Amino acid sequence: MEAVGAEAVVRVCGLVNRFGGQIVHDRLDLEVRAGEIFGVVGGSGSGKSVLLRSILGLKSPDAGTVEIYGRDVNRLSRAERGALVQRFGVTFQNGALISSLSVAENIQLPLREYRRLREDTLAALAALYLSMVGLPADTAAKYPAQLSGGMIKRAALARALALEPKLLFLDEPTAGLDPISAAAFDQLLLYLHSQLALTVVMITHDLDTLFRTCSRAGVIIDGRMISDTLEGLVESSNPRIQAFFHGPRARAAEKERYG
């Protein structure tokens, strides 16, 4: 396992989110440290995606604070927010590529917005990020509707990397992929993580991905988060965590990791 700094890149304190009478998060705490790959797990409907939207500042929480690089995401001026969003990249569950733009234009979108570059440099950078995520060169001119699910996830990752952030948020990066594509994506993520010194926050319910890539993880149970190293979670005595990590599908994934 790589060296993990003590510095907290993402810090969530006492987060509360309610929809009507339904409480999704009940004083949830979370801390992600520089250089780690942090997995957020939990059953369907446990509020993983809402947590991500709260961290990104897309949803203002009912209570609590969210800090990225020490800045409270809900108390930023327009200019401060513009500066902060350049420091992290996000991929959404279904890719969220802009459907009327080609893949190259999607990757260039943040570059055009935040840097003033010549067309040939933009083309070269689009080619760079495509090859970085392992997509063939002719993908550049294609439109999102022409891509397979795995290619869309990779293209979305390329777009998230375009501004060279050190922090990545991935929402279900391997959901809907076949096991081979998912394993390839895990490899890609580990490779980029080591090459580019990234911090990654990954929402997933794919245990294979979790055990292959993550150094620490957090489980959302009853609106609160229990985070620990994977070994700690696996040996936890909490029956809900046990159910999650010791189901029939979990055992195979653990076996692969620990031999």
Partner 1 sequence: MTNVLALEGGDDVWRLNLKGDWSPQALPQIEQQLAILPATLAGDLTCDWSEAAAPGIGPTWALLARISAADRLSVRHVGGPPRHLQFLRDLQVGRSAGAAAQHTQPDGSGPVGKLGRWALWQGAEARAAVGFFGRIVAVIGEAFGKPRALRLSSLVRHIYETGVTAIPIVALIAFLVSVIVAYLGAQQLARFGADIFVVDLIAIAMLREMGVLLTAIIVAGRSGSAFAAEIGVMQLNEETDALRAMGLNPIELLVVPRLLALVIALPLLTVVADAMGLAGGALLSYWQLQIPWPQFASRLHEALAPTTFWAGLVKAPVFALLIGSVGAYRGMQVRDSARELGRLTTLAVVQSIFLVILADAIFAVVFVHLDF
**CB count in 10 Å sphere of residue 143:** 15
Strand partners, 71: 68
- Binding partner 1 by CB under 8 A: which of 22, 60, 131, 187? 131
- Which residue, 186 or 208, has its beta carbon nearer to partner 1? 186
- Binding partner 1 by CB under 8 A: which of 138, 180, 248, 249? 138
Contact call for residue 164 and partner 1 (CB under 8 A)? yes
- Binding partner 1 by CB under 8 A: which of 4, 84, 128, 184? 128
Residues in binding contact with partner 1, number by CB under 8 A: 24
- Binding partner 1 by CB under 8 A: which of 143, 183, 224, 242? 143
Please give the residues from 192 up to 251 whose contact with partner 1 meets the rule CB under 8 A. Answer: 195-197
Closest to 29 measured CA to CA, from 42, 16, 19, 41: 16
* AA identity, residue 40: V
Rounded CA-CA distance 246/243 in Å is 5
CB 42 within 8 A of CB 72: no
Rounded CA-CA distance 45/79 in Å is 34
Stretch that binds partner 1, among 23-31, 57-65, 131-139, 170-178 (CB under 8 A): 131-139
The rounded radius of gyration (Å) of the Cα atoms in the chain is 18
Contact set with partner 1 (CB under 8 A):
99-100, 115-118, 121, 124-125, 127-128, 131-132, 136-138, 143-145, 163-164, 195-197
